[in-house]
Chain A
Amino acid sequence: MFRNHKFSHKDSIIVATQPESVYAESFRKIPINIKYSRVDDEPRVIQITSSLSGEHKSTSAANIAAVYRELGHKVILVDCDLRKPSIHRITGLVNTDGLTDYLVGNTDYANLIKQTRFEIDVINAGNPVPFPHVALRSEKFKNLIAKLRESYEYVIVDSPPLLLVTDSLIIGEICDTAVFVINQRTTKKNAAKEAIRLLRESNIPIAGIVLSNTAKRIRRVSKYYSYKYKYTSKK
């Protein structure tokens, strides 16, 4: 009969599901640091990216959105990883009526935005399209982000890895800042350096770095730093 299978990414908004945990506390520092990365003009459209896949950027994006929601802000999480979407799984949705469907005209704005049990509004990636970078370069996508900017206080944009596809650089052009995620156990130093170089060359300001999946010895030093956020540089 039925087996119990745990689908990947399920229940990974730790800020909402385990609000008292050390991990949740680490995420709560991130909006503060983003705010102070540019005091006069606080970034409101925030891109989350990384060098390669499997660095927990979607989990970070969802948790950052959850922290903004916890602070009482109106926030939307947009899945722009059109090639390997996962935000819908993190938020318990099905990937229908998403961004690609909107961009190709198969759904409208009213159906695009989904409410979740985490009280975060979400835009799914939608059905796969042959050339995601073309969809992301469209005026319709730019207009959508502009519309979201008017309707929400914060727009968190989950985007694909920088070293695999150009999508993130295209998305970066219309975001206010980028948060770069590094998996402490798997990300190679050269990969991280190369990805940050790409962001800088494209004039995408980096608000900071989230260090995910930190080693136990770091966590032993201070239990409050299992997810560590560090200010690095800005444009």
Chain B
Amino acid sequence: MMNAPMTDIHTHILPFVDDGSDSIADSLRMVGEAMANGVKNIILTPHALRTGMPKFTKEDHCRHFSEFQTEARKHFDVNLYLGQEIAYHPQIIKYLQDNKLLTLNDSSYILLELPFFDPIEDYEELFYSFSVLKYNVIIAHIERYYYLSYGDIVSLKRYPVLYQINSNSLTGESGRYLRKRSMKMLKDGLVDFIGSDIHVSRKNDFHLAYQMVARYLSVADADRIFVENPKRHLNVA
């Protein structure tokens, strides 16, 4: 086990606001599992702008977060932070301009989820708009968009974006294809963050993912991805 506390930048632990958790008990169990995996800082990133999900405003998310944080502190010595996993939406720039969305821990970084089926037509325009509004973009689980070839993933990196992959893609929990793709990205230096994207039904394998990075790359690289990058970019402890 490593010494420095790890940060999980992508979780659906916040109860009652998305498909992550429907009860405080489940959410507390998920926090406990994260801590058992060596995570000390957890950014709660409920879905925002996702089609088919109940619509919560950022004020709703803040209120739920505040309540849950109070509850969690009774049980764990953990640092909880708030963000959102913002799904791509044609009006996303307008929402950001109107300050209706949350960045990760009040930093300049947003966690962006691309569409799962219809590719965005104009990435250049999208990333241009983010840069004008001075938002930095972390693309959530970049390995999971099947319409993006590996070449596309490499090519998108020419824009000012950072990539997050899921720990269960790397560990093979989500299948061989995602494991292979994640490993290749890791070895090619394309991965900036690893998140658990934990939902109540998923197994937390964050520590195993850390061990894999340490084994296949180096301990220094694993520390960079799991500890230093979040600290450097997202103002976590």
Contacts and interface: CB of A to CB of B under 8 A. Distances in A.
Contacts of B162: 1-2
Given A5-B159, A8-B124, A94 B132 contact: yes
A96 B93 contact: yes
B131 interface: yes
B133 interface: yes
A2 B132 contact: no
Given A8-B124, A92-B132, A1 B192 contact: yes
B231 to A, nearest CB: 14
B125 A95 contact: yes
Interface residues of B, number: 21
B97 interface: yes
A1 B192 CA distance: 7
Given A1-B162, A7-B124, A8-B124, A95 B129 contact: yes
A127 B187 CA distance: 39
Nearest to B137: A2
Contacts of B119: none
A96 B128 contact: no
B151 interface: no
Ranked nearest first, the 3 interchain pairs of A and B with the lowest CB-CB distance are A7-B128, A94-B129, A2-B160
13 contacts: A1-B162, A2-B161, A2-B162, A3-B158, A3-B160, A5-B159, A7-B131, A8-B124, A89-B128, A94-B97, A94-B129, A95-B125, A127-B91
Interface of B: 90-91, 93-94, 97, 124-125, 127-129, 131-133, 136, 157-162, 192
